[in-house]
Amino acid sequence: MDIEFNKNEDAMKQLVYQLNKKLSRVKQGGGEKKIASQHKKGKLTARERIDYLIDDNSDFLEVGAFAGDGMYDEVGGCPSGGVVVGIGVVSGRDCVIVANDATVKAGAWFPITAKKNMRAQEIAMENRLPIIYLVDSAGVFLPMQDEIFPDKEHFGRQFRNNARMSSMGIVQIAAIMGSCVAGGAYLPIMSDEAMIVDKTGSIFLAGSYLVKAAIGEDIDNETLGGATTHSEISGVTDNKFESDQDCLDYIKRILDKLGAPETAGFDRVEPVEPKDNPEEILGVIPEDRVKPYDTRDIIKRLVDNSEFDEYKKLYGQSIICGYARIDGWAVGIVANQRKVVKSKKGEMQMGGVIYSDSADKSARFIMNCNQRKIPLVFLQDVSGFMVGSRAEHGGIIKDGAKMVNAMANSVVPKFTIVMGNSYGAGNYAMCGKAYDPRLIYSWPTAQMAVMSGDAAAKTLLQIKVAGLKAKGEEITPEAEESLLKEIRDRYNEQLSPYYAAARLWVDGIIDPLETRQVISKGIKMADHAPLKEKFNVGVIQT
């Protein structure tokens, strides 16, 4: 190993350390006092409920851990969007789990909470996975009701999804383990089976104070909508339980008796660890993101036995395509090549840029993977498509459109890892969030935006200066430099992977060493959903 490798490794380890530190803080939810308050009521926290529910020695792949990060600081913050979501194994079955975190604003729904819940439902629908709701929520966060209530992708959409999942035969199980009020009451009752914990669980369209205000009736919440009322009188819930643990044990027994799922039939053999040391991934990506590197050095440390069968290796070299196995699963990999390469015409091509020949190659490769029923893995470190007269005259838009068309119409599941840059239309072509990857995670080195910070800052500065000059104002070099710094700092904040994760542009940020595990778990869950659609790219210009 050389000095450069060691510098890169140290920089990446520092980023991973910061990631773990931030995750640790997020997992505290509303803080120690709120956690203690939950325990005093005899309740487990959202994360404790999930830990108790999932099988021993199984992994929980969290989705949206950083949702809401830094978005609601003016009202005290909303760690993880006030709800814990992920994929876990319960009684041997992969399930989506959604658990309201009552330590965060009593589990109230913020705009990002609704978006995160719908992402959980989307994962369940796409992969035909059972979904478990652990309900403990005070309902909509009223100061922001206009941002969560009436629109298509707002609060009410989840109940539409409840109904759609029921018609699709997707099992939905709900446990009312705390408050469940107003419109939110429909979620558990639209599930296949709803249970409630005695003395702590309650469900009603309007609480006792609102009932008093609306119709003048004096009644306490327990009599109005507690476990006894709904399990013995109204029949709204199916069973009541003495504790969180008893309720969660019952859910395990439900999952234990489910019939076997259909499968898509993705190919898997006995997994083999990479021959090249996976930990060396940490030293491959340069600390200086402008410097080139060979993406094959990443791939060889991700795939089984470091075996990678490259497709059209000598053609379209700014994107690497090929077949491999990850944790035993057959995959097709589409990865941006960050090394400077020589084209078929002897021209040098910049790393991380998509050229016409690379887009053409990628489209053909994606079609092949659909033909052979092989899941696709996209490894992003892309600056965008090539620009300039030569690229335009060569039909870069047409070839880029072919790649986007093939990728967008792909019926095999797609999984995206944002390793570095994810700029402009390159984000789209390499299966960004808008193109329905089953899972999309980033490394701490990721950046997502229309263009790089420097390029954007200089462009925005030119626009600003031109505007000032149009008004007859002159700007000094010192003022211009100060303005450039201000624009760059603001833009760079938005490039952060945490900014993206807070808004659910990605499902989370992971240690690069977790990549194999995340992709494998993703394909395992996707295998629950047989491929019903036929691959058809529609009209493609050749």
Of the pLDDT bands very low, low, confident and very high (cuts 50, 70, 90), residue 183 is low
Question: Residue 378, class by beta-carbon neighbours within 10 Å (0-12 exposed, 13-18 middle, 19+ buried)?
Answer: buried
The answer, yes or no, to whether residue 97 has pLDDT greater than 90, is: yes
Contact, 104 vs 80, CB < 8 A? yes
Question: Which stretch, 73-77, 348-352, 449-453, has highest mean pLDDT?
Answer: 73-77
Q: In angstroms, rounded to a whole number, what is the distance separating the alpha carbons of residues 73 and 397?
A: 42
Number of helical H runs and strand E runs in the chain: 19, 20
Average pLDDT, the chain: 91
Paired residues of 424 in beta bridges: none
The answer, yes or no, to whether residue 84 has pLDDT greater than 80, is: yes
Q: Which of 23-37, 223-237, 429-443, 474-488 has the lowest mean pLDDT?
A: 474-488
Of the pLDDT bands very low, low, confident and very high (cuts 50, 70, 90), residue 345 is low
| Average pLDDT rounded to a whole number, residues 527-531 | 95
Paired residues of 382 in beta bridges: 422
Of the pLDDT bands very low, low, confident and very high (cuts 50, 70, 90), residue 540 is low
Contact, 422 vs 432, CB < 8 A? yes
124/452: higher pLDDT? 124
Copy the structure tokens of residue 246. Answer: 């008893």
Q: Which residue is listed with tokens 């690069």?
A: 512
Contacts of 62 (CB under 8 A, 6+ apart): 84, 85, 86, 508
Q: In angstroms, rounded to a whole number, what is the distance separating the alpha carbons of residues 303 and 19?
A: 24
pLDDT of residue 212: 80
| Side-chain-facing half-sphere of 328: CA atoms under 13 Å | 8
The answer, yes or no, to whether residue 484 has pLDDT greater than 80, is: no
pLDDT of residue 355: 92
137/207: higher pLDDT? 137
The answer, yes or no, to whether residue 343 has pLDDT greater than 70, is: no
263-277: burial string, b at 16+ Cβ within 10 Å, e else: ebebebeeeeebebe
Q: Please state the three-class secondary structure of 14-83 as a single string.
A: HHHHHHHHHHHHHCCCCCHHHHHHHHHCCCCCHHHHHHHHCCCCCCCEEECCCCCCCCCHHHCCCHHHHE
pLDDT of residue 216: 87
Copy the structure tokens of residue 536. Answer: 């058809």
| Average pLDDT rounded to a whole number, residues 74-103 | 96
| Average pLDDT rounded to a whole number, residues 183-188 | 78
Of the pLDDT bands very low, low, confident and very high (cuts 50, 70, 90), residue 456 is low
Q: In angstroms, rounded to a whole number, what is the distance separating the alpha carbons of residues 360 and 80?
A: 40
DSSP characters for 290-305?
A: TS---THHHHTTTSGG
Q: Which of 102-116, 308-322, 454-468 has the lowest mean pLDDT?
A: 454-468
pLDDT tens-digit readout, 356-370: 999 999 999 999 999
Distances (CA, A) of 314 to 321, 342, 359, 424: 11, 9, 14, 26
pLDDT of residue 510: 98
Q: In angstroms, rounded to a whole number, what is the distance separating the alpha carbons of residues 320 and 207?
A: 59
Q: In angstroms, rounded to a whole number, what is the distance separating the alpha carbons of residues 310 and 329?
A: 17
pLDDT tens-digit readout, 245-288: 999 999 999 999 999 999 999 999 999 999 999 999 999 999 98
Of the pLDDT bands very low, low, confident and very high (cuts 50, 70, 90), residue 344 is low
| Average pLDDT rounded to a whole number, residues 319-347 | 89
Backbone torsions φ then ψ of 217, nearest 5 degrees = -85, 130
pLDDT tens-digit readout, 25-61: 999 999 999 999 999 999 999 999 999 999 999 999 9
pLDDT tens-digit readout, 400-450: 899 999 999 999 999 999 999 999 889 999 999 999 999 999 999 999 987
The answer, yes or no, to whether residue 466 has pLDDT greater than 90, is: no
| Average pLDDT rounded to a whole number, residues 213-233 | 87
Question: Residue 218, class by beta-carbon neighbours within 10 Å (0-12 exposed, 13-18 middle, 19+ buried)?
Answer: exposed
Of the pLDDT bands very low, low, confident and very high (cuts 50, 70, 90), residue 347 is low
Q: Which residue is listed with tokens 């990728």?
A: 407
Of the pLDDT bands very low, low, confident and very high (cuts 50, 70, 90), residue 541 is low
Question: Residue 470, class by beta-carbon neighbours within 10 Å (0-12 exposed, 13-18 middle, 19+ buried)?
Answer: exposed
DSSP characters for 95-114?
A: EEEEEE-TTTGGGPBPHHHH
Indicate the helix (H) or strand (E) that contains 370. helix 356-371
Contact, 81 vs 29, CB < 8 A? no
| Average pLDDT rounded to a whole number, residues 295-318 | 96
